[in-house]
Structure 1
Amino acid sequence: MTHIAKGANVPVPTAPLRVAVGRRQVPGAPEVEAAALLLDATGAVRGDAGLVFRGLSAHPSGAVRHLGTGDGGGQVAEWLELDLPRVGTDVQRVLIAGYCDSAVFGAVPGLYAQVVAVDGGVVTHYDVTDASTETAFVLGEFYRRDGAWKFRAVGQGYDSGLKGLAQDFGGTVAEAAVPVPEQPAAGPVVLENVGKTGAVRPGAAYGGEEDRTVKAPTLTPTVTATAPVTAPTYPPPQPSTPLPHPTVAAPASWGTFLDFEPLVFRGKNAKTITVDLPFPPDSDPVILAARLTDARFRFLHVRILGPGEDVFCNDLPDHHGRALFVPPPGGGPVKLKVRHSGNWELTFLPLTAALPIGPGTVRGSGREVFVHTGPAAELKVRASDRYSGWFQVHSHRGDTPGALREPAERLFYAWNGDRVEEKARIPDGPLLIVIDKSKHEWEFTLDPLPRQVSDHG
């Protein structure tokens, strides 16, 4: 099973799959319901039946269905079924969302999405750790890529509930329920989880695997299978909190980074936007996440007006990427010129939203910002690109926010689509690792060095 972090993606088999939108079973916890949105190449819901949820429980094609609720092993989940071979070619993406009718997602304990094959094998698992005031939440999406399907962890919240979420994608919420046709009993579905709480603890990735056995959630028919539980290979992101590590404390100055609620801009084609965050002079960097919703167009250009510096000027291979954004030294509001041939979404995040990278393997594509807070380690990178693009990774290190404004060391570099199979030693954290040029699909594996090597090597 592959645990993935927010923004990461993983290939999935083009086969029938089941998806759990789940949480820990805690008395008094909010109820979470699941929905699927079928989107076309423009990012819009495909017709009135393009939204599948409890009130409209099957797409007319039968390719997407709402199966109901199951519980067991201290977990409760709503289940969706996707028959990917039957998804029409006019559907390019299928969003997996949850919504709360009378609460916010910040009150939901242990929210996650899990993709399961019909034979019970767990394909991938994504834990949500940064929910707050949202009443609807896009946990992930299935999307087409070169004739195959992938799943990406999205982690985008909305404050307008299911109706507002549907309207954002050009759809409406139907009130009448559509009965689900009966089907033969499927094989057992196994739900894997992590730890006693069902969420990743800050030190879980550094303490080795924890073998546990829990009951799988109950479906129709009843499921009674059990499965061993393993800890994830790295912790999920912890936005808007100090950079975590179980044994190595970050410098105090790393806790003073500019902190703010995520700021989202949406537009179409070319547009100038003003980012009115309170950037002080010589501000520390922040993260700019970009998302494109039209499958036909990958190129995005984002330029800081005034200094004339580019933040993005490249293709986003999976229509998603995160870049280190260094504000102009004078501070204050920043104007950006955005150029793209379709719909786009830009989200500004504090630097504490960098994806933690710990022992194990993480996979993805395009540009990304990681934080390493553990001991010295060997970082192995494998990357390939069919589009003949550059691949460049820098590390940023410093005891003050201003020291992180410039790259300290180039770790990896390749051009003209060269395949990358390299390794580099990285020092004790905290350390930012930034993929700042990439159309590649990549795989990072972090192996801690023996203590005597890291202390004296």
Structure 2
Amino acid sequence: MLRGLIKGDNAFVPTAALRVAVGSGVDVAALLVTERGRVRGDADIVFDGAPAHASGAVRLAAGEDGTVWLDTDLTGVEEAVARVLVVASTEEGALRDARALSVEVLGPDGRTVVAYEVTDAGPETAMVVAELYRRSGGWKFRAVGQGYVDGLTGLAVDHGVDVGEEPQEAPADVPAPAAPARAEAPAPAEARTEAPADVPAQGRRPTRDQLLDMTPDQIRALARAQRQAGAEPGSPPASAPSVPPPDPSAWTCGPVFKPRTVTGRDNDVITVEDLPPGPVMVELAVKGEHYTGLWPLDDSNAKGRYLVNSTEKDFRGRVIASVPAHGRLRLRLEAGGPWQVRILPLAEARRLTESRLEAWGPEVLLHTRGTADVAFHYKGGGNFIVHLHRLAGHTDPTALPEPGRAVVNEIGARKETLPLPEGPLLVHVSAADAPWTARLKEVRPHSSGRNADRPMKSAEPRGALGWLRRARH
């Protein structure tokens, strides 16, 4: 590690697309907070059940040997976000038991910029390990190492995460929280509350189901009771809670980076350096009436399978290419006029909804809903080809799952409705030389995580609840 810091130290980092490695064997999350140190809502929690922030600037991916990666594009972080907190937590035991708990920040070239190894973890079960924060027009990294003996819930409450009661999938006969079995000193009037009766009196941590049935005031009261009782927060819960799987609408595939734009005229070879490896979108617009062709080039300058093959006037469209491990994407373009190429992350794919989506030429669409039908209306006379890339359960951000045979491969104008499996999946319209539309029909909720024997009061849990219910993968 190049710039090893100790607790409390800070250092400037490049305002660029950085990779943050957190090791090892702990659960990792990121909180995007304002100047007040609080999240704006559940969408500002990035964790294994919701691994991509809506802005696309922060994404989570599992690595090897227990390392977890946070891809953080500092150029894309919203202005309202002042800090990105790197959070580590444990399901069982304490952070002092974690092996080599550390944070390492890698620059766009893959080299280490700064690093911090936690050497003083104790009985805490949750910790803000480090943070990236704005300073003097740029960004800095701080080694924080702030632990929470009252666990992830205490950390969440401190940063404005709403962990209060909300309608959820739960039996109708769950008992309401009752008075604690152990007396404690009177709390101030505004904070006086009760904790669930079935929390073990000897100070063991409550289960997640118990926590999810508590208000923030009840959580604070429970934390006070544990501290006063000298409880060991790292003790395992009396019984393992039932943990539902992550939100199936969440997906993680492809790198996150600031879009790149290249312009030119007529035939050319396009080279874009310093891209993170993995699948990306290539958006091409050409002015003119000549043939347009686009191919990827390998390291020996041999052409791969064509990405664009069109004779249409004023071609425009989006296709998928793959950035090699060395981060250098090369494309061969044949065009008869001025052109513009943009390299975009897959996170910027257009989403399929029940509203009519209008497009021209090839396009990349993202479906995150449950099973549905997609209705296409193609108005051209050439090929109309559609492939599906199923992202559900796909954990490798450097490659797309194979699409298999085209689900549509027809010539000429047509209307066609296709059944789609549960999202997330990419719908890649790889060939189209005319306008077309698409919209979802017969959309159903995700089946994952539902239990037919228990009433569902809310179709999808809030992000905060999903974070506290997270499961290690």
**TM-score when normalising by structure 2:** 0.39
Which structure carries more strand by proportion? 1
Which structure: larger Rg? 2
**TM-score when normalising by structure 1:** 0.40
